[in-house]
């Protein structure tokens, strides 16, 4: 992974985490929408941290385990759902794993 692509993914991931948490704040803290948005934020933040630490192996291993990135958000937050899916697609593509989602 090039430094430029790594930096881009880190920056875009951090922006996405902020957006997801801001959107979550608009829902009741006990709602499923709040939980789903917060959960996706934690997932993205975890991948960003791994990128910052140059710890790519766990990300590569998990790539085959999940392909429903952000789908749980679509009913109430379609824009964020698409952004989450795009973040993961770019991340896994850059790491040479799944590319077709």
Hunting for tokens 């990128």 — which residue is that?
51
- The token duo for 52 is 């910052």
Q: Where are the domains of the chain?
A: 3-94
**What pTM was computed for the model?**
0.88
Rounded to whole angstroms, how far apart are CA atoms 37 and 59? 20
Q: pLDDT band for position 101 (50/70/90)?
A: very low
Rounded to whole angstroms, how far apart are CA atoms 30 and 34? 7
Rounded to whole angstroms, how far apart are CA atoms 62 and 31? 28
Rounded to whole angstroms, how far apart are CA atoms 79 and 49? 24
pLDDT digits (tens, 9 = 90+) for 18-55: 999 999 999 999 999 999 999 999 999 999 999 999 99
């Amino acid at each position: 992974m090039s430094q430029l692509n790594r930096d881009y993914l880190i920056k875009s991931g951090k922006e996405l985490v902020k957006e997801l948490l801001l959107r979550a704040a608009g829902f009741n803290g006990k709602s499923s929408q709040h939980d789903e948005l917060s959960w996706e934020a934690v997932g993205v933040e975890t991948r960003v941290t791994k990128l910052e630490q140059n710890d790519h192996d766990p990300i590569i291993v998990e790539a085959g385990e999940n392909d429903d990135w952000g789908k749980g958000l679509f009913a109430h937050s379609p824009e964020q759902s698409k952004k989450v899916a795009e973040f993961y697609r770019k991340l896994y593509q850059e790491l040479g794993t799944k590319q077709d989602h």
